[in-house]
Each structure stands twice: as structure tokens, then as C-alpha cells.
């Protein structure tokens, strides 16, 4: 039996691939060590790519609306300044949001926790009075309630002991902590510079990547890969935009409605819910738990009103806002949005919740195209199937 040159080449490649797979399985510990080392080196650039991807969405919006007119495109000065000016505006906007959070949210949280001890101390006698009315016949419950005490100093000492002993592996020495801080700042600085370079040179980098792809991959596969990359980018950017818009809408709804009902911590709770709402579907419940606890320490009745208000707004958000703003932005039906969040959360936690919706959307779109292609090959009209 004779083999031509192409068959010999394929058999040789298959043998080499099998040998590499067997070697990786045999020495999997070393393989994981090598992969970890490579990931540690590439992490600043991976982080920079993620930052560039996120900032590219508002940057395209600013560039399209400020410099997208025919007059601006004809001007050489505007064409040169469009990219750096758009990036500068977006960076100022991001730093402005961070500054607002630092000067509004953090001081409010500090004052809240500073007054939390007094609120709990004032709340315990009321709990004891309620328990006496409800469980006055139950001696065990009354004994436990009457022994309730709150010592803020003991709680602070316990927290200090935890950071001194329980978290000692992280904060075991000042030198280790300083090294971690310096390393984190250095990594972020490299990632930020790399992100700025990618944003300023994204067309040039895109052309270079396409040249490499077409040089090493067959034309048909390269074009298919570019189509998948384009679909993935548009899906992720649409999801990011929709998720941020949904979080802003939900946070604003809580600030306005809590102000109308004269509930305490309206601005603080609204900002917390807006940030936690970035976690799809389930994130707002985290903000609800935080808000209900804070309001409960001031007035339990108002905490109950807040929970009812949250359930009402959550129904509006879940049935009207989220499916239309986020679900439609990624082209994914509501049931698959819920499935993607559940699967992503069980596999990768909060990060999985954030990235699985666009991933599932890409898979859904590709699978739908394959199904439609198969139906056309069998001469079946997809619209005729009901």
C-alpha cells in the first residue's frame, strides 16, 4: 500500500500531535507550572486588553458622535485629534465616576458603620420588648433574648485578631504587603499603558493580526474565524452597554422611589444597587440585602417597606427592562439569559455570570446559522416550520 506525500504529511502530523498530548498528560504537573508561569508573564497584557475592550465601547460612541460628521471627517486636524481626544474624554469620565464614588459612597459608608454600633445598641432593647410580648411563655427564648448584648469594642478586637492571625498568610509582614502593593500598581500601570496603545493603534493592530491569520490559516477558515471574532466583539460590546444602562436605570429608580417614600440611605442604597446590578439578574438582590440591613437598624417598618419596594421594582426590571435592554442587545431570548447566568455562576462565580451571557449568545447565534444552513441544504424553509 503506497501513500502519497500529502497522506504521509498528515500521518506524521497526527503522530506528533498524539505524542505531544501523551507527554502533556504524563507530565501534567510541569505543564500546569509552565502555563502558570506564562500566564503570570502575560497577565498585564491580558488585563490591558480587557481594559482596552471595555473602554473601546464608550470611546467609539464619543468618537462617532463628536467627530462623525462630514465636516469633521474632511478636516485633517479633526481626523488626527479624534482618537486621542475621544480616549481622553472617556478616561476623564471613568476617573470622574471613581472620584464620585470615593467622595460620596465611601464617606457615606464610613458614617454608616460609625453609627451602626449605636443603632444596634438602641435596637436590642426594642427586640427584647417585642420578644417579651411574643414569647413571654417560652423561658428558653426569653433567656436567650435577655442575654443579648452588643459590645462594639469586642467586635473591633475580633476583626483585628482576624487580620492579625486568620489573614496572617497575606499580611504576615510589612515587607510582603509592600511588595504586593508595588507589584499590583506596576501590573496595573503596564496594563493601562498597553490598553492606551491598543486604543490608539487598534486599526493598525487589527490589520497586522489579519495578515498573520491569513498567512498561517487557509483562506476559508481565516474568513470564518474573522466572522466569529466580529460576532463575539459586537455581542460583548452590546452586552456591556446594555448591562451598564440597565444598572444606571435600576439605581436611579431606587434613588427616586426611596426619596419619595422618605426612606433613609436613598443615595447610598441606590449606588450600591447600581453597582451590584452589574452582576446579571441576581446582583440586585445583594444590594437589597445590604440596603435592608442598613434601614432595619434605623427603622424595621421602613426596612419592610424597602423590601416591598424592591420586589416591585425588581419585577419591573426583570420583566420589562432587563430582557429588552440586555437580552435584546445580545440577541438572546430571556430563558437563555437566565440559563447562562445560572451556569456561569455555578462554574465561575460572579465572573462567570458576567461573561457567560455574551458567550452563550455567540454560541446561540452560530448554532442558529448552522441550523438554518442545514435546513436550506435540505430545501426546507425555516419560516415554514411552526
Predicted local distance difference test score (pLDDT) of residue 371: 82
pLDDT tens-digit readout, 352-364: 777 777 777 778 8
Predicted local distance difference test score (pLDDT) of residue 308: 92
Q: How confident is the model at residue 17 (pLDDT cuts 50, 70, 90)?
A: confident
What's the full length of the chain, in residues? 386
Predicted local distance difference test score (pLDDT) of residue 141: 54
3-state helix, strand and coil shares in percent for the chain, rounded to the nearest 5: 85, 0, 15
CB of 239 within 8 A of CB of 326? yes
The proportion of the chain whose per-residue pLDDT surpasses 70, expressed as a percent, equals 70
pLDDT tens-digit readout, 365-377: 788 878 888 888 8
Give 320's DSSP letter.
I
265: left (phi over 0), alpha (psi -120 to 50) or beta: left
Residue 152 predicted with pLDDT over 60: no
CB of 291 within 8 A of CB of 277? no
C-alpha cell at 23: 507527554
User: Average pLDDT for residues 132-147, to the nearest whole number?
Assistant: 58
**pTM greater than 0.75:** no
User: Average pLDDT for residues 22-29, to the nearest whole number?
Assistant: 80
Indicate the range of 51-55, 64-68, 255-259, 303-307 predicted with least confidence: 64-68
Predicted local distance difference test score (pLDDT) of residue 377: 80
Q: Would you list the DSSP string of 228-277?
A: HHHHHHHHHHHHHHHHHHHHHHHHHHHHHHHHHTT-TTHHHHHHHHHHHT
Number of helices (H), then strands (E), belonging to the chain: the values are: 15, 0
Question: In this predicted model, which residue has the larger pLDDT, 309 or 111?
Answer: 309
pLDDT tens-digit readout, 317-354: 777 776 666 655 556 666 777 777 778 777 777 667 77
Q: How confident is the model at residue 120 (pLDDT cuts 50, 70, 90)?
A: low
Amino acid at each position: 500500500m503506497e501513500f502519497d506525500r500529502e497522506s504521509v504529511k498528515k500521518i506524521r502530523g497526527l503522530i506528533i500531535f498524539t505524542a505531544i498530548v501523551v507527554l502533556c498528560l504524563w507530565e501534567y504537573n510541569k505543564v500546569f507550572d509552565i502555563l502558570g508561569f506564562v500566564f503570570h508573564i502575560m497577565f498585564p497584557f491580558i488585563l490591558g486588553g480587557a481594559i482596552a475592550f471595555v473602554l473601546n465601547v464608550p470611546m467609539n460612541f464619543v468618537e462617532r458622535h463628536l467627530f462623525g460628521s462630514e465636516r469633521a471627517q474632511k478636516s485633517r486636524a479633526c481626523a488626527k485629534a479624534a482618537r486621542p481626544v475621544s480616549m481622553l474624554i472617556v478616561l476623564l469620565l471613568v476617573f470622574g465616576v471613581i472620584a464620585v464614588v470615593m467622595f460620596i459612597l465611601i464617606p457615606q459608608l464610613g458614617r454608616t458603620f460609625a453609627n451602626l454600633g449605636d443603632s444596634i445598641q438602641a435596637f436590642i432593647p426594642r427586640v427584647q420588648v417585642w420578644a417579651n410580648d411574643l414569647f413571654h411563655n417560652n423561658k428558653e427564648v426569653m433567656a436567650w433574648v435577655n442575654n443579648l448584648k452588643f459590645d462594639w469594642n469586642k467586635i473591633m478586637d475580633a476583626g483585628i485578631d482576624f487580620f492579625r492571625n486568620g489573614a496572617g498568610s497575606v499580611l504576615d509582614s510589612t515587607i510582603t504587603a509592600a511588595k504586593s502593593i508595588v507589584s499590583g500598581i506596576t501590573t496595573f500601570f503596564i496594563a493601562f499603558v498597553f490598553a492606551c496603545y491598543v486604543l490608539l493603534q487598534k486599526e493598525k493592530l487589527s490589520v497586522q493580526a489579519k495578515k498573520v491569520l491569513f498567512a498561517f490559516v487557509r483562506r476559508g477558515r481565516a474568513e470564518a474565524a474573522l466572522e466569529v471574532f466580529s460576532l463575539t466583539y459586537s455581542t460583548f460590546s452590546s452586552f456591556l452597554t446594555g448591562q451598564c444602562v440597565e444598572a444606571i436605570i435600576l439605581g436611579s429608580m431606587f434613588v427616586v422611589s426611596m426619596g419619595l417614600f422618605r426612606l433613609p440611605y436613598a443615595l447610598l442604597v441606590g449606588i450600591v444597587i447600581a453597582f451590584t446590578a452589574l452582576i446579571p439578574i441576581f446582583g440586585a438582590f445583594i444590594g437589597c440585602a445590604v440596603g435592608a440591613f442598613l434601614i432595619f437598624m434605623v427603622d424595621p417598618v421602613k426596612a419592610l417597606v424597602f423590601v416591598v419596594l424592591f420586589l416591585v421594582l425588581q419585577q419591573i426590571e426583570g420583566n420589562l427592562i432587563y430582557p429588552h435592554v440586555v437580552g435584546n442587545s445580545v440577541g438572546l431570548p430571556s430563558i437563555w439569559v437566565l440559563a447562562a447566568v445560572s451556569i456561569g455562576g455555578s462554574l465561575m462565580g460572579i465572573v462567570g455570570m458576567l461573561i457567560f451571557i455574551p458567550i452563550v449568545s455567540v454560541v446561540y447565534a452560530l448554532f442558529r446559522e448552522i441550523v438554518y444552513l442545514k435546513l436550506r441544504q435540505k430545501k426546507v424553509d425555516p419560516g415554514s416550520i411552526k
